[in-house]
């Protein structure tokens, strides 16, 4: 759910960078996860059908997506798992571990700060911030929660480009403005609100309640489809 689109639906590209549809960019991490699982099972190659099934997409879409990376696989053999991992990681910019700042160390912030999965997926949480004096100074794992007033200095010192917002909605825009002023150029927003950011800053939003509401729609539709027609009731 990117909040920013450039109109063409394509991710902005530089001269040596493949022009990728946003939908392809969104599927690349799924392929990467599936490929890592295959590599862990010592699988050297995978067919487009096998990888598509593992990633939960259709194989024609997968072949098209990977063709954007110049990856076509070998007829009768499929894709080289390790090579494809390297290509996708290169395009996603995961060859270097990216420093992330997490703002709002409440219930959600604690859970995110303790999630070990970021490190293996190309990210490390470099700083934790909160505005509550009772939270500032608290130890969370190996880190100490800092005062949000330090954000400019820390973002600069730790070369942080991505900020994660886990504050209440009423504080999120102010936090986003501060992160952007400090030099952050990508924001992952957990607060249930729309953020306004300048051009050049990317925002993605995560909202489990919206996902549940979409599932609710499907539940609603299924029950409508399976309901007996009114006149059949009682016959
Ligand atoms: N996206 C999702 O699926 C999802 C799921 C759960 C919660 N949320 C949202 O995540 C946010 C956090 O939820 P929570 O349960 O952890 O809340 P919480 O109240 O436990 O924690 C919020 C923290 O933000 C801090 N804070 C407030 N204003 C701040 C500011 N200006 N600068 C820095 N820190 C500030 C508070 O001191 C507190 O520690 C809420 O907006 C909630 O709606 C989203």
Evaluate whether 27 touches 60 at the Cβ level (below 8 Å).
no
Higher pLDDT, 158 or 70: 158
Q: Establish whether residue 193 lines the binding site of ligand 1, counting it when its CB lies within 6 angstroms of any ligand atom.
A: no
pLDDT score, position 10:
53
Query: Which residues constitute the domain of residue 74?
Result: 10-92
Instruction: Identify the CATH number of the domain in which residue 34 sits.
Output: 1.10.10.10
Instruction: Identify the CATH number of the domain in which residue 125 sits.
Output: 3.40.50.720
Ligand 1 centroid, distance to 87 Cα (angstroms)? 36
Instruction: Report the 10 Å Cβ neighbour count for 168.
Output: 13
Same domain, 104 and 182: yes
Is 220 part of a structural domain of the chain? no
Same domain, 147 and 203: yes
pLDDT score, position 16:
60
Tens digit of each residue's pLDDT (9 = 90 or more) over 182-219? 999 999 999 999 999 999 999 999 999 999 999 999 99
The number of the ligand 1 atom at minimal distance from the alpha carbon of 107 is 16
Same domain, 112 and 202: yes
Higher pLDDT, 177 or 122: 177
Ligand 1 centroid, distance to 130 Cα (angstroms)? 10
Same domain, 23 and 102: no
Ligand 1 centroid, distance to 26 Cα (angstroms)? 26
Across all residues in the chain, what is the average pLDDT? 89
Same domain, 117 and 41: no
Task: Tell me if ipTM is over 0.90.
Answer: yes
Domains in the chain, number: 2
Is 221 part of a structural domain of the chain? no
Is 231 part of a structural domain of the chain? no
Tens digit of each residue's pLDDT (9 = 90 or more) over 21-80? 999 999 999 999 999 999 999 999 999 999 999 999 999 999 999 999 888 788 888 999
Of the candidates 76, 92, 108, which is a domain's last residue?
92
Is 232 part of a structural domain of the chain? no
Same domain, 87 and 174: no
The b-or-e profile of 43-56 (16+ CB within 10 A means b, else e) is eebbebebbbebbe
In degrees rounded to 5, what are phi and psi of residue 68?
-65, -25
Is 46 part of a structural domain of the chain? yes
Of the candidates 92, 114, 148, which is a domain's last residue?
92
pTM of the model: 0.83
Average pLDDT over residues 134-161: 97
Same domain, 117 and 143: yes
The number of the ligand 1 atom at minimal distance from the alpha carbon of 110 is 16
pLDDT at 7 over 90: no
pLDDT at 101 over 90: yes
Same domain, 36 and 126: no
Same domain, 191 and 155: yes
With residues binned 3-state (H G I as helix, E B as strand, rest as coil), the percentages for the chain, rounded to 5, are 45, 20, 35
Distance in angstroms between the alpha carbons of the first and the last residue of the chain: 48
Same domain, 80 and 138: no
Same domain, 104 and 191: yes
């Amino acid at each position: 759910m990117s909040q920013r689109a450039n109109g063409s639906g394509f991710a902005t590209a530089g001269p040596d960078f493949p022009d990728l549809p946003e939908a392809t960019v969104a599927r690349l991490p799924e392929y990467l996860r599936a490929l890592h699982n295959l590599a862990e099972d010592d699988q050297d190659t995978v067919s487009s059908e096998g990888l598509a099934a593992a990633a939960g997409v259709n194989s024609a879409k997968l072949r098209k997506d990977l063709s954007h990376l110049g990856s076509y696989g070998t007829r009768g053999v499929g894709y080289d798992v390790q090579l494809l991992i390297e290509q996708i990681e290169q395009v996603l910019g995961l060859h270097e571990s990216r420093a992330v700042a997490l703002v709002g160390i409440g219930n959600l912030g604690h859970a995110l700060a303790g999630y070990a999965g970021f490190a293996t997926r190309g990210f490390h949480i470099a700083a934790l911030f909160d505005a509550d004096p009772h939270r500032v100074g608290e130890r969370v794992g190996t880190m100490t929660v800092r005062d949000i007033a330090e954000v400019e200095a820390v973002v600069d010192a730790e070369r942080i480009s991505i900020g994660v917002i886990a504050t209440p909605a009423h504080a999120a825009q102010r936090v986003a403005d501060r992160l952007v002023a400090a030099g952050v150029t990508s924001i992952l927003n957990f607060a249930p609100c729309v953020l306004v950011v300048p051009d050049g800053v990317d925002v993605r939003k995560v909202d489990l309640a919206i996902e549940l509401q979409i599932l609710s729609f499907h539940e609603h539709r299924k029950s409508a489809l399976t309901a007996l027609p009114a006149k059949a009731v009682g016959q």
